Structure 1
Amino acid sequence: MPATQTSNDASLRQAMDHIPEGIAVFDPGLRLVASNQRYNTLLDLPEELIKIGTPLFDIALFLGDRGDFGPGDAARLAIERINELTASPTTVTHRLGNAGQTLEFHSSRLPNGGLVISFTDATARVRAESALAGVNSSLEERVAERTAALTRVNAELEMARAKADAANHDKTRFLAAASHDLLQPLNAARLYTSTLIERAQSTGLADLANSIEASLTAVEDIMSALLDISRIDSGALRPAPTPVSGRDLLKRLEVEFGPMARERNISLRIMATDASVLVDRMLVGRIVQNLVSNAIKYTHPGGRVLVGLRRRGSRMRLDVIDTGIGFNRDQHKLLFAEFSRLERGARMAQGLGLGLSIVQRLVAALGLTLELDSHEGHGSRFSVFLPATRTIRPAPDATAVAPEVNFGTLGLKILCVDNERAIIEAMEGLLRHWGCDVRSALSLKQIDRERLLEGWYPDLVLMDYHLDQTSGLDAIEWLRHNVGGHLPAALVTADRSPAVRALAEERGIAVVNKPVKPAALRAAISGLANQSRTPAKRVVS
């Protein structure tokens, strides 16, 4: 062999011995051609098995006999191992070494049919992978445990939320029922007191009657405020926006707050408008009522309160402006807190400090914007931004007429139906004091049984909503069918739900809320009396 070839072979063998992997090359007959020192060391082969020309079978047989391939016949295990290494063009296999280490074998068939095998000690890597797998398994277990725990917590929270929702629902139902039951005697008391006030004018009992009226009003305000807060917090309020005439939205304010403003010597001015807005009429009406009530309460005698709508871009700004006591910017948060009142305001008017808290909650529930500007000692401006809509004609309303009406000159015949005898008696006393001819009943059966309408046709009917055997709306329909299709009617009810008001409006029936305020009742009766009736009248037989 030439010296150059010998030198190259020596260099190649030396290079192979420095490779960290064990390498062995076999010819097409699977006889050893070359191997490096790492191959011999890792396999711990005897000297005669690392000689050039050693068959691969002899090496595999030695290893099988030594137990490297596990228990069983050594020859069979050797053949299976060779088949495993030569079955594919390339293979990757793992097995335990003689010292218990993990060996990773890579085998490749050469173009001439030979075989090259390389392997390395993969013990550290396999251990790391095993440890990582253990960590992953442990992590998965911990994740599964945490997920199960979170699932349990979420289920418990959902159950607690459901219980809280049920409790809120029950609370709302209870407050609604309780408010109705409490408002009934309060309504009778207000009616009796109104009659007493009118009869006690210019007598020594006038101040006492007015004090009773003020106390009853305070009780009504507190109950209404608490009921409103309960409905808002429980989600019982469901806004139902509809196009509403601005004039229709504001005109009730003069009826409701005109007497209060005149009594306090405050100028209440409602600006005329042709604008229309897209709002929930009842809920926005409640916002405006609270703002106007506050403005009048906290304005000194001789002051002014202005209410109006102004266009601001695509929205309408509803302003309630007063010349009252005002407040500074540092008091904004305190102003909207429940049961919180500014010191100067507490000296001017009684109350729990719930009005503006309800305003803020309603504004949030309706998705509106509230803006305020005030200077202490110089008045305030509260503004609510409302969505504008196409201008519509204001609907006729029984409360549109002036509240100061002399009923003694009208000679009205009024039918009153309520299932509370105390309310019937109080209503009769007030209406008869106004010069009305009144007939009353506790139910439709009583009207039919006592033939109350024979020879007597009412100009209008005042009907309670919650009757014993039917609703007031159905009772009015029954009366219209039997007495006259155009019989004007008002629903007098403690139920302030939007659904009842909507049903009443669909049937052309006015709504007067209990406890009845004399001014609102007078306005409603005057409006109903002006409604047209058909000449044909049928009486109950």
Structure 2
Amino acid sequence: MSSRPKHAEASLRQAMDHVPQGIAVFDNGLRLLASNQRYNTLLALPEALIKPGTPLFDIALYLGDRGDLGPGDPARLAIERINLLTAAPTTVTQRLGTGGQTLEFHSSRLPDGGLVIAFSDVTARVKAERELERMNQSLEGRVEERTADLTRVNAELEIARAKADAANHDKTRFLAAASHDLLQPLNAARLYTSTLIERSKSTGLAELANSIEASLTAVEDIMSALLDISRIDSGALRPAPAPVNARDLLKKIEVEFGPMARERNITLKIVPTRATVIVDKMLVGRIVQNLVSNAIKYTPQGGKVLVGLRRRGSRMRLDVIDTGIGFNRDQHRLLFAEFSRLERGARMAQGLGLGLSIVQRLVAALGLTLELDSVEGRGSRFSLFLPATRTMRAPDDIGSAPSETNFGTMDLKILCVDNERAILEAMEGLLSHWGCDVRTALSLKQIDRERLLEGWYPDLVLMDYHLDQTSGLDAVEWLRHNVGGHLPAALVTADRSPAVRALAEERGIAVVTKPVKPAALRAAISGLANQTRSINKKPA
């Protein structure tokens, strides 16, 4: 098996140790799952108390014995401290450390009942705040002196802001570099789980397989959300508006969310349209994905979700309407707050409350307008206003997904190329279960060395983007040159940048993002197979 999952775990551990805050994660029994080096250093904990499985009470009791929690009975102080950290979904507290420094603790309850604690040394900030308060108390009659002090403080704050901006950019660059390694093992796990789900239907393992799938989906959603927020906040996203057929945006929504809606017994209706809008297709697609996902999650079984466009003057209004739980006007601001969820919504679906926060950031970054209207208990309407055009025709979307189809056995020859053996094994298992004749390779050299294509012509190729010695795009060009210029291909990648997608579309290559979703993969394969059939029907 590949060592990449271990490498991803090591990368994540290294990332945590580079974060300036102390971080610890506890399970729903308040037992330690993991902590970073900063956490252990700031609290000066002994080795025995930083091992996974250590109860939070043991840690608090040790701090109480040491005097960190103040005078009194250590056990009572420990219990009071734990109650304070867990009493609300989020808490912010301060206390003195062993060295007299001021520590600020942020605690958040996880959807499964676990707990995340992050803290940092805010001595300098608290000292500056107290100093500023002292200066303000004697402001009258000391305007000139205060002006000099404020000038000095502002200079210090500017330096601190510049350092914070630099740290934020460093974080973004690290996340971009690490995202591929972090998503690779998750992608393999999703593929294995998809095969397990299909093979365990009508067996006692079906429920377990679906639970694993749900957990992996939750991890994927969290990672994607955090990466999106990081890219938006750092300014790494560069919108590239262009004429787009609105039907292509809506078709992808139908393919991606159709299975999810049917599983929840919800009617998802996509209204056909011929409109052309001028937008960044990927970023607006991300907005609509989040809105539709939320609509389905928070609509009870038997409900309806409608997605469609209406012309409003020089703009098109894209509506996502549901018959879900709704909300009142006083809750509007709470909807878009990070890690904030309405109580009834939290009971209906898992999540961290990041979806609408990302929507708000993307809407602001693209300069668009988002309206919302809702009646508690009856449903909601989110409306995104998009620039429209009557004079410009959008180009055909080469990589657009076809209508969702319920496939039977797929009689296709598929070549899979990926530099991760675990992903190849998982992909081969899934595709073989679908009735495909699959051959796999880690590189172009292996294809050439083992003569994998002798006497065997693939109907299509699924190609990883990050290969060891070349890019997936160049590898597809090599295959087309050697086995046929019309070879349909899809780029399977964790890189979601517009640049990679644009390069793929220029070469007529579809894009499937990792972690791979079975419905999206089957839709992409169907589209590529249709290309093969169209080519074969052409007269010589």
Same fold (TM over 0.5): yes
Quote the residue 2:454 is aligned against.
454
For 1:360-379, what per-residue CA distance to the aligned partner results, in whole angstroms no more than 9, with x for missing partners?
01000111111000000010
Question: Is the Cα–Cα contact under 8 Å of residues 335 and 342 in structure 1 kept in the other structure?
Answer: yes
Report SS of the residue matched to 1:401: coil
Residue 276 of structure 2 aligns to which amino acid in structure 1?
S
Answer yes or no: is the 8 Å Cα contact 1:241–1:279 preserved in 2.
Answer: yes
1:420 alignment counterpart: 420
Change (3 A) 1:316 1:534: closer
> For 1:284, what is the secondary structure of its paired residue?
helix
After the TM superposition, which residues 177-256 of structure 1 pair with which residues of structure 2 at under 5 Å, given as runs? Answer: 177-256=177-256
TM superposition shift of 1:169: 2.1
1:395: how far off? 1.8
Matches within 5 A, 1:280-359: 280-359=280-359
Tell me, yes or no, if the aligned pair for 1:255 and 1:399 is still in contact at 8 Å: no
Corresponding residue for residue 486 of structure 1: 486
Opposite residue 336 of structure 2, the aligned amino acid is: F
- Aligned pairs (5 A) from 1:365-380: 365-380=365-380
Structure 2 gap segments, 5+ residues each = 1-142
Alpha-carbon offset, residue 351 of structure 1: 0.3
- Post-superposition Cα deviations, 1:422-446, rounded to whole Å, max 9, x if no partner, equal 0000000000000001011011111
Q: For the Cα contact (< 8 Å) 2:297–2:348, is it kept in 1?
A: yes
Instruction: Indicate if the aligned counterparts of 1:397 and 1:527 stay in contact, CA closer than 8 A.
Output: no
Asked whether the 8 Å contact 2:228–2:358 carries over to 1, the reply is yes
Q: Equivalents in 2 of 1:258, 1:305: separation in Å? A: 11
> Alpha-carbon deviations, 1:48-96, whole Å to 9, x = none?
xxxxxxxxxxxxxxxxxxxxxxxxxxxxxxxxxxxxxxxxxxxxxxxxx
In structure 1, the residue matched to 2:393 is 392
- TM-score when scaled to structure 1? 0.69
Aligned residue number for residue 406 of structure 1 = 407
1:166-206 superposed Cα distances (whole Å, 9 cap, x missing partner): 32222112112222112111110000000000000111111
CA-to-aligned-CA distance 1:278-327 (integer Å, 9 cap, x gap): 10000000000000000000001110000011111111111000000000
Shift of 1:398: 5.0
Once the two structures are TM-superposed, the CA of residue 159 in structure 1 deviates from its matched residue by 5.3
SS in 1 for 2:511: strand
**1:251-275 per-position Cα deviation (integer Å, ceiling 9, x unaligned):** 1011000000000000000111111
SS at match of 1:385: strand
Please report how far the alpha carbon of residue 156 of structure 1 lies from its aligned counterpart in structure 2 after TM superposition.
6.3
Residues 403 and 272 (structure 1), Cα distance of their counterparts in 2 relative to 1, 3 Å cut? closer
Quote the Cα distance in structure 2 between the aligned partners of 1:520 and 1:398: 12
Question: 1:402 and 1:209 mapped to 2: Cα distance?
Answer: 27
How far does the alpha carbon of each residue in 1:303-355 deviate from its partner, in whole angstroms, 9 at most, with x for none? Answer: 00000111111111110000000000000011100000000000100000000
Once the two structures are overlaid, the 10-residue window that deviates more, 159-168 or 469-478, is 159-168
SS at 2:333 equivalent: helix
Q: Distance in 1 between matches of 2:240 and 2:338?
A: 26
Give the secondary structure class of the aligned counterpart of 1:197: helix
Matches within 5 A, 1:136-147: none
Aligned equivalents of 2:274, 2:465: Cα separation in 1: 33
Match of 1:67 in 2: none
Structure 1 counterpart of 2:291, which letter?
L
CA contact (8 A) 2:243 2:395 kept: no
Q: For residue 405 of structure 1, report the CA deviation from its aligned partner.
A: 3.7
Q: CA deviation at 1:394?
A: 6.0
| Deviations 1:1-42, CA, capped at 9 Å, x for gaps | xxxxxxxxxxxxxxxxxxxxxxxxxxxxxxxxxxxxxxxxxx
Q: TM-score, normalization: structure 2? A: 0.69
CA contact (8 A) 2:251 2:403 kept: no
What is the rounded CA distance, in whole Å, between the counterparts of 2:417 and 2:335 in structure 1? 43
In our comparison, the structure showing a higher alpha carbon Rg is 1
C-alpha distance in structure 1 between counterparts of 2:249 and 2:295, whole Å: 18
Measure how far apart 1:163 and its partner are.
3.5
Indicate the residue corresponding to 1:5 in structure 2: none
Question: Matched residues in 1 for 2:159 and 2:459: separation?
Answer: 56
Please give the alpha-carbon distance, in whole angstroms, between the structure 1 residues aligned to 2:385 and 2:426. Answer: 42
- How far is the alpha carbon of 1:481 from its aligned partner? 1.2
Give the number of aligned pairs.
392
After superposition, the Cα gap between the structure-2 partners of 1:535 and 1:404, relative to the gap in structure 1 and judged at 3 Å, is: closer
Q: Which AA in structure 1 matches 2:231?
A: R
Q: Which whole-Å CA distance do the structure 1 matches of 2:346 and 2:182 have between them?
A: 27
The one-letter amino acid of 1:491's match is: L
**Structure 2 residue aligned with 1:445:** 445
Identify if the C-alpha distance between structure 1 residues 247 and 535 changes in structure 2 by more than 3 Å, giving closer, same or farther: closer
Letter in 1 for 2:415: L
The residue identity in structure 2 corresponding to 1:363 is V
Deviates more, 1:203-212 or 1:388-397: 388-397
Equivalent in the alignment of 1:113 = none
Assess, with a 3 A threshold, how the Cα gap between structure 1 residues 411 and 334 changes in structure 2: closer, same or farther. same
SS in 1 for 2:531: coil
Q: Is the 8 A contact 1:266 1:302 kept in 2?
A: yes
How far did residue 404 of structure 1 move? 3.1
**Structure-2 change in CA distance of 1:452 and 1:292 (3 Å):** same
* Counterpart residue number, 1:107: none
Provide closer, same or farther for how the CA distance between residues 162 and 485 of structure 1 changes in structure 2, counting only shifts above 3 A. Answer: farther
Inter-partner Cα distance in structure 1 for 2:335 and 2:379: 14
For the aligned residue pairs, the C-alpha RMSD in angstroms reads 2.3
Q: 1:161 to 1:433 in 2, by over 3 A?
A: same
User: Percent identity at matched positions?
Assistant: 85
- Please list every run of 5 or more consecutive structure 1 residues that lacks an aligned counterpart in the other structure: 1-141, 537-541
Secondary structure, counterpart of 1:244 in structure 2: strand
Q: Are the counterparts in 2 of residues 398 and 525 from structure 1 also a CA contact under 8 Å?
A: no
Q: In structure 2, what residue type is equivalent to 1:354?
A: L
- 1:364 corresponds to which residue? 364
